[in-house]
Chains A and B, each alone.
Chain A
Amino acid sequence: DVKVTQSSRYLVKRTGEKVFLECVQDMDHENMFWYRQDPGLGLRLIYFSYDVKMKEKGDIPEGYSVSREKKERFSLILESASTNQTSMYLCASSFRGPAFFGQGTRLTVV
């Protein structure tokens, strides 16, 4: 089975901090994604990557950046965390099929 692992289940950070969310997949998938999930809004795509060092903006990239130095790892970076970035963050990977998701990181910015 595909396994997508997010480094933290819960995080609490202060406004203005630089925050790193890490995601690792073990199936050699080409594509990796970061989504944000908010009540009533469903999942919104922040960034995705289809290869090492390649990235494309999703629907809501403002305030975020990403890094993919190795195929199995895709990091989401909040350059300066703000309270409106309090949310559930979901990482996923795929290759020519459905996406497989990690357990999610619930981030609270105070």
Chain B
Amino acid sequence: AQSVTQLDSQVPVFEEAPVELRCNYSSSVSVYLFWYVQYPNQGLQLLLKYLSGSTLVESINGFEAEFNKSQTSFHLRKPSVHISDTAEYFCAVSDWAGTASKLTFGTGTRLQVTL
């Protein structure tokens, strides 16, 4: 069985400050990792993904995450946040076992950016 732990339910931060949203996972097999973002009253949008290769992955809007196998972590970072980054962020893991790629989600971290 796989599981995901997002250590912070809420993260308040001032605009232009750096931020890190923490994610740890557990799985007995090789994993694939994702971060999703959800704006109010919308579905989830894929922010970035780790499938294989470089352990540092980046999104088009300045977020990055690093896969750390030894620490079983996939923390999300941004060096300078904007008001428009205010949203809920979900970390997810998939093990691709069997015929279906089932995603398991964390409980989410609400990022609140203020002036």
Q: Count chain B residues whose beta carbon lies closer than 8 angstroms to a beta carbon of A.
A: 25
Q: Is the interface of B mostly helix, strand, loop or mixed?
A: loop
A101 to B41 Cα, complex, angstroms: 13
CB neighbours (8 Å) of B45 from chain A are: 101
Chain B residue nearest in CB terms to A38: B107
User: Which residue of the partner chain, among B96, B100, B102, B108, contacts A42 with CB atoms under 8 Å?
Assistant: B108
B104 to A: closest C-beta gap in Å: 8
Chain A contact residues, majority secondary structure: strand
Contact residue among A4, A35, A58, A103 (Cβ-Cβ distance under 8 Å from B42) = A103
Say yes or no: A101-B43 contact (C-beta < 8 A), given A42-B107, A50-B100, A96-B101: yes
- Residue pairs across A and B with Cβ atoms less than 8 A apart, 25 shown, are A30-B100, A31-B101, A42-B6, A42-B90, A42-B105, A43-B105, A44-B105, A45-B103, A48-B100, A48-B102, A50-B100, A56-B100, A90-B44, A97-B101, A98-B46, A98-B49, A99-B46, A101-B36, A101-B43, A101-B44, A101-B45, A103-B42, A104-B42, A104-B43, A106-B41
